[in-house]
Every structure is written in C-alpha cells, then in structure tokens.
Amino acid sequence: MKLDIVKYPEAVLAKECSKVEKVTPELRELVDNMVETMYDDDGIGLAAPQVGESIRLIVIDPSGPKNREEMQVIINPEIIEREGEVDSEESCLSCPSFRCVIKRSEKVTVTGMNLEGEDVRIEADELLAIVLQHEIDHLDGTLIVDRVGRLKRNMYDKKIKKWLKNQN
C-alpha cells in the first residue's frame, strides 16, 4: 500500500526518532509500504518519519525506481566512520520544489540491522554514501532545509507559507 509522504514543516520530521527494539509483522508491513512508496514517488531512499512513523528505520535503493537492484532495509542505522568531503546536490520527497548543494562526507561506514535481525555493516561511497547520510539525517530530525544558509531557508519558508495559505 502506498503511503502519504509527510511534508515540511510537519513536526514529526523535526523529531529525533526512537530505536526499533525488534522486527515484528507490523514492522515488515511498514517496510513493504515504504518501499512501494519510495519507488512510486521516484525516490532513492525513504526514512520512517517521512511516512509519519518516528522510528529509526530507512529503506534505500541508489539504483532508483527504474532498476530496483540495490534495495536495502536498515534498522537503527548509525554512521560509525566518515572520510572526506563532497558537495552534494540534493532534494527530498518531504521538501517539494527544493534543491540545494550541501556538504557531505565522501565515504561513510554504517552499521545497523536488517529485517532478519542480523547485524549489517556497509562501507559506502558515491551515491550510496550520500543517500545513507540523507536518510539517517531524517532519523535525527534534520532535513536538507536545516543544512542550508538562513537566506535560502527563509525563502523556502515563505514559499511554503504561501502554498499552505492557498490550499485553505
């Protein structure tokens, strides 16, 4: 089932998410729905708070909705090592019509758990490293709009306010 994407500035996106204690049938169902939603919205990653669940869970597929070859589910992901720095051009399903260039680590090592309850360790570079950092940011309540300068952020805030006003 496709889920609704929560959009900025909803409060759940700014909250620190809680750890997942165990893999339950409900969690598996949520994962299925998140994967479907990610592909359907042409995303390459989705974090649980983006569908309103404040838990530490992400799904990613840097090969994109076209190829669907590198899908991974990571529970309680954590960046344990970082190396280098790159400029990364990003957008986010929760921040419509917003693009920006931000600084990211070039390489990251991420640990966590998969849906089988096994420990995983991912050594990532290139797009995979960026997607991981972007999605793990969501679990700490950080959006790309939080990573840009105040001017750009204020402009986006104004745009969003206008949209919300026009919807009502």
Instruction: Name the catalytic one among 29, 89, 116, 135.
Output: 135
Q: What span, in angstroms and rounded, lies between the C-alpha atoms of 89 and 95?
A: 14
Q: What residues does 92 pair with on adjacent strands?
A: 95
> Which residue, 95 or 113, has its beta carbon nearer to Zn ion?
95
Pick out residues in 24-53 that bind Zn ion (CB under 5 A).
none
Residue number, nearest CB to Zn ion: 92
Q: How far is the CB of 31 from Zn ion (least distance, A)?
A: 17
Phi/psi at 143 (5° precision) = -110, 165
**Cα end-to-end distance, the chain, whole Å:** 28
Q: How far is the CB of 137 from Zn ion (least distance, A)?
A: 8
Query: Rounded to 5 degrees, what angle do the CA atoms 117, 141, 93 make?
Result: 85
Pick out residues in 79-98 that bind Zn ion (CB under 5 A).
92
> How many residues in the shown chain lie near Zn ion by CB under 5 A?
1
Q: What span, in angstroms and rounded, lies between the C-alpha atoms of 126 and 107?
A: 7
Q: What span, in angstroms and rounded, lies between the C-alpha atoms of 5 and 95?
A: 10
Q: How far is the CB of 104 from Zn ion (least distance, A)?
A: 13
> Which residue, 109 or 142, has its beta carbon nearer to Zn ion?
142
78: which 2 tokens? 């954590």
Report yes or no: 145 and 153 within 8 Å, Cβ to Cβ. Answer: yes
16 is catalytic: no
> Which residue, 13 or 75, has its beta carbon nearer to Zn ion?
13
Q: How far is the CB of 81 from Zn ion (least distance, A)?
A: 22
Q: What span, in angstroms and rounded, lies between the C-alpha atoms of 48 and 37?
A: 11
> Which residue, 7 or 23, has its beta carbon nearer to Zn ion?
7
Positions in the binding site for Zn ion (CB under 5 A) = 92
Q: Annotated active-site positions, please?
A: 135
